[in-house]
Amino acid sequence: MHVALAINGKDVTSCHSSSRVVTTHTHFDTTSHFSYLYSYVFEMCGIFAYCSFLQEKDRKTICEILVNGLSRQEYRGYDSAGIGIDGDKKGEAFFFKEVGKVAGLRKLIAESNVDTSKTFLSQVSIAHTRWATHGPPSVVNCHPLKSDPKADFMVVHNGIVTNAAALRLLLQKRGFKFESETDTEAVAILTKYIYDSQPDKRPSFTELVKTVLKELEGSFAFVFKSSHYPNEVVTARRGSPLLIGVKTEKKLKVDFVDVEFASPEGENKSMDALAPTSPGGLLVPPSGPNLLRTQSRAFMSEDGMPQPIEFFVASDAAAIIEHTKRVLYLEDDDIAHIAEGELHIHRLRRTDGPQVASQRTIETLEIELAEIMKGKFDHFMQKEIYEQPESAVNTMRGRVNFDQNVITLGGLRAYLPIIRRGRRIVFCACGTSYHSAIATRAIFEELTEIPVTVELASDFLDRKTPIFRDDVCVFVSQSGETADSILAMRYCLERGALCVGVVNTVGSTISRETHCGVHINAGPEIGVASTKAYTSQYIALLMVALQLSEDRISMMERRKQIIEGLHALPSQIKKVLDGDRSLQELATGVLANQRSLLIMGRGYQYATCLEGALKIKEISYMHSEGILAGELKHGPLALIDENMPVIIIMTQDSLYPKVQSAFSQITARKAQPIVVCCEDDQGIPSGCKTIRVPKTVDCLQGLLNIIPLQLLSYHLAVRNGFDVDFPRNL
């Protein structure tokens, strides 16, 4: 099939022309052909699709599964929600869309007059929560988006199509009418245009979607449904996460799916001979046995007979876990096709770039449904803050031998000699992950005596930072899908550096494409505030530094001191949480109605100031700024007066006298600071408002000091009536 499109006066072809899909390790600064990579955005939209085969389901049950799938992803932040299901007649589709929460969508469905008792032996339904990027929140802009009034094609989408405006202009010139302001509608209409343009040669659903994807630029995860291909669904990802859950009554015959690769002649063939992207990368799931392609293509059958099966497509494992723990993660440029109870994974033809894994392994999710529910807590964020004693233990479990003071990170073991020989360590991250790298930079330099730099991923790319083959580049990301960090990682891989991933999400892009790494094992991140991600990343990075220094006799006593501090850490975190009531009083008293807040400290506590200020501004919308106390005289001191609220972190370490000097400077200017100090510190002037925390090793103190600031941000937001779990623009 060949379709020619003219965009901005330039002839653009697909299928028989060069592919627009970007290879894994592309030079990002070479040609404009790849310029759209810089538009990668990790969106907070939620995707969910439900496909059942030989499973009799009534419409009420199907709608309930869809709505529950969306509600499990509510923490992601969104402004509207919708579902698309099969109608009463062949080729008919019903849509339910609502601005606001999933609860409103649930009510809309319940009040509708559709026949909820109608049953389907096989069906495909799709659902979506939207976070507005193109057009304001409205029913019209809500997904699923359809290609025409009859809904020949419908699409849900996470991400941004950066050439949507050009596609829209082209399609409008061809006579197509748009209802919404979204970039997604352009994709739905483009699909119909390509399908209608070849009436005598109907492509398969997969071929059609491939043709569409070759015309798209940007970041996305898609699910396509069509009346022309009943009971079939096609999903694809580039830059946004997508996974597929599989549920059967009987055990699966094999635990993998072969990738089917398009040859130059257009024939599909298996890629069994190809190696994984990251050979030796210990974060890569193990490949399954090399069975014949025909076996894996029919891996859902038992003794050649079709069996009932359900598939769940989602952007987050939280939406799938109540149905099945058996999932496979799609990789960038994967196209998955589900039909007749079988799952096939295709890829667009590659002409260059690295080889990709020949199989997608079906993995077992370790999380439980209870872990992603609020339970006794009022908000997900509050639950995550209170889970930190357990998440700290989980990060250390099986890795720290407290009897022998030994750290074992299996994912790094084979690469320790290379890391120790590195000329420098470059941390690259964004937001909270960036702060965890700053928090551990000093202990890395102390224990390894290797120079360490910490880079913001977006700035790292903007500067085209020089990277060398003997650099060790560490990419820290809770999700493992942070767009800027992924691009920076590929930039470093291209330049031959050893790349290490520190992530929470198994199967994520960073975990697959780095050479080695560490999973932080913090459990599911069910709130957007990343509270336990910070503390678990902090601990994981600290363990990396400890393992790197295990061959240094001069550091034995220091390592022992830190490991003993790690042993006491969970109980100390619980002790800080016990002081929540006084923090709530601070938020509703001293800090109530304030418009700005300064948080200052130095040394290890500078990262605490930055992270605390970030939490306060992103959750409570109060202006807050983290300040290095040593820089007070170089400008920030001008802000200090009796009306400026200040939190100063003055816990006891080697820099305690210097922070006391900063305390004197601000109190001389009539500031009335809140002092974060050690619980037994008698040197704090009487009359000062204090937040008392247990004392621990200097490099661990920030783990205890950050928790009161997390709680303050939570209480400030609740006090001001903000929705903590759905902060704006996050």
Same domain for 406 and 353, yes or no, is no
Residue 277 lies in a domain: no
The residue that leads in pLDDT, 372 or 621, is 621
Q: Do 477 and 419 share a structural domain?
A: yes
Do 322 and 212 lie in one domain? The reply is yes
- pLDDT above 90 coverage of the chain, percent: 55
For 617-653, what is each residue's pLDDT tens digit? 989 999 999 999 999 889 989 999 888 999 999 999 9
Question: Residue 347: what pLDDT?
Answer: 84
Q: For residue 250, count other CB atoms closer than 10 A to its CB.
A: 12
Residue 173 structural domain? 46-263+295-364
520, 551, 582: which is the final residue of a domain?
Answer: 551
**Residue 278: inside a domain, yes or no?**
no
The answer for residues whose C-beta is within 8 angstroms of residue 175's C-beta and 6 or more apart is none
Residue 37: inside a domain:
no
Please name the residues in contact with 240: beta carbons below 8 A apart, sequence gap of 6 or more.
42, 43, 158, 159, 219, 220, 221, 315, 481
Identify the three-state secondary structure at position 113: coil
pLDDT band at 370 (very low <50, low <70, confident <90, very high): low
Query: Do 322 and 383 belong to one domain?
Result: no
CA distance 171 to 189: 8
How many domains is the chain built from? Answer: 3
Summarize pLDDT for 192-242 with one digit per residue, the tens: 999 998 888 888 999 999 999 999 988 788 999 999 999 999 999 887 788
Give the global pTM.
Answer: 0.67
Residue 667 lies in a domain: yes
Residue 285 located in a structural domain = no
- What is the C-alpha separation between 59 and 65, in angstroms, rounded? 10
Are 484 and 535 found together in one domain?
yes
Give me the residue label for tokens 């170089």: 634
Give the model confidence (pLDDT) of 484-522 as tens digits: 999 999 999 999 999 999 998 777 889 889 999 999 988
Q: Are both 422 and 520 inside the same structural domain?
A: yes
Q: What mean pLDDT value characterizes the chain? A: 83
Q: Is 45 an active-site residue?
A: yes
Q: What is the CATH number of the domain that holds 489?
A: 3.40.50.10490
- Has residue 502 been placed in a domain? yes
- Whether pLDDT at 330 is above 60: yes
As a whole number, mean pLDDT of residues 71-99 equals 85
Among the candidates 495, 516, 551, a domain finishes at: 551
How many Å is the Cα radius of gyration of the chain? Answer: 27
In the structure encoding, which two tokens stand for residue 544, read together? Answer: 């990396």
Q: What's the CA gap between 664 and 648, in Å, rounded?
A: 11
Tokens 């990396």 label which residue?
A: 544
The widest CA-to-CA distance across the chain, in whole angstroms, is 87
Backbone angles phi, psi at 75, to 5 degrees: -60, -15
Cα dihedral 316, 318, 323, 324 in deg (nearest 10) = 70
Question: Residue 303: which pLDDT band, with cuts at 50, 70 and 90?
Answer: low
**For the domain that residue 203 is a member of, what is the CATH number?**
3.60.20.10
- Is the confidence at residue 9, as pLDDT, over 70? no
| Active-site entry in 15, 45, 63, 492 | 45
Burial 682-700 (b: 16+ CB within 10 A, else e): eebeeeeebbbbbbbbbbb
Contacts of 691 (CB under 8 A, 6+ apart): 579, 582, 583, 586, 647, 674, 675, 676, 677, 708
For residue 725, the model assigns a pLDDT of 74
Same domain assignment for residues 539 and 594:
no
The predicted model gives 363-369 an average pLDDT of 70
Q: What pLDDT shows up at residue 375?
A: 66
Q: Are both 215 and 133 inside the same structural domain?
A: yes
Please check whether residues 101 and 152 belong to one and the same domain. Answer: yes
Please check whether residues 521 and 583 belong to one and the same domain. Answer: no
